[in-house]
A = this chain, B = another copy of it.
Amino acid sequence: MLDLPDRASVYEVGPRDGLQNEPSPVPTATKVDLIQRLAATGLPYVEASSFVHPRWIPQLGDAEDVFAQIERRDGVRYAALVPNMRGLDRAQEAGLKDVAVFISASETHNQRNLNRSIEESLENIRQIMEALQGTGAWVRGYVSMVFGCPYEGHIPLENVRHVAAELLKLGVDQISLGDTVGHGTPRSVNERTRDLATDLPVEQLALHFHDTRGTALANVVAGLDAGVRIFDGSIGGLGGCPYAPGASGNVATEDLVQMLHGMGIDTGVNLEALVDVALFVEGRLRKRLPGRYLRAARGLYEG
């Protein structure tokens, strides 16, 4: 029998993980509008932008402007990725309290994506956490390639455990375990997550699935059964990873919320409002997004 909870949380990463992969930059005003609409649906967390150098991700080069313009709602965390001390400085100048840091469980991916070793990344995150001491910041740590890597293939579970445990030791509040290119299967997600949860606090673990092979929601079920209660989504299924060949978008937030609600798992999110936001994104980007439920909900199936 599946082991299912009554409640789970959905974390929205679309404005960052989604929009960083859009071929052309989205106007700042549209981003601000999107972030506010997302926050209004009841999502507890909206990852709004990234303070990675604009040379690397020009799509999010307006992070300061975005944070200057959003009107914050109580009860919603608005965070951004910070890659290093320079990014943290920019984030703090922009008035951010909560941030997200990132690292890979794959040495090769970490080198290619971040141009440093995993140990150097941990040292970098240690500096960030030190600088954040006493600020009341809440920090999310992304660990990518948890279920496999396009460069290295199999990633030993002990590497994942090491990186996640080090982040928690450094004071990171929540670890998002990323199936960055969709290698995870319901079996590997269930087994790996259960195994990690034997010595890491499961309430601090989130799962971040990409839908490369269409198994993201199946992986969510496997993650629920393993005790995880926090799942990342990207509105409409926006996204991917520009440094991870073959990666497609994140699981669509509205598909995730729809499935959870259908299973009697409350998320506190207004699904109808979320579908409206997905349709808003489609309209602004002038393209069809991969999310499934928004088509079913609106009767938009083609022929």
Q: A residues engaging B (CB < 8 A)?
A: 1-2, 4, 23, 182, 185-188, 190, 194, 211-215, 217-218, 220-222, 225, 240, 246, 248, 252, 255, 258-259, 262-264, 291-293, 295-296, 299, 301, 303
Contact = CB atoms under 8 A, between A and B. Distances in A.
Contacts of A263: 185-188
Nearest to A181: B296
Contact of A259 (B1, B2, B213, B252): B213
A218 B251 CA distance: 13
A262 B4 CA distance: 23
The number of times this chain is found in the oligomer is 2
Contact of A185 (B218, B246, B262, B291): B262
B212 A259 contact: no
6 contacts: A2-B222, A185-B263, A186-B221, A188-B262, A225-B225, A246-B301
A21 to B, nearest CB: 9
Given A1-B194, A217-B214, A225-B2, A259 B293 contact: no
A248 B185 contact: no
A296 B182 contact: yes
Contact of A221 (B4, B221, B292): B221
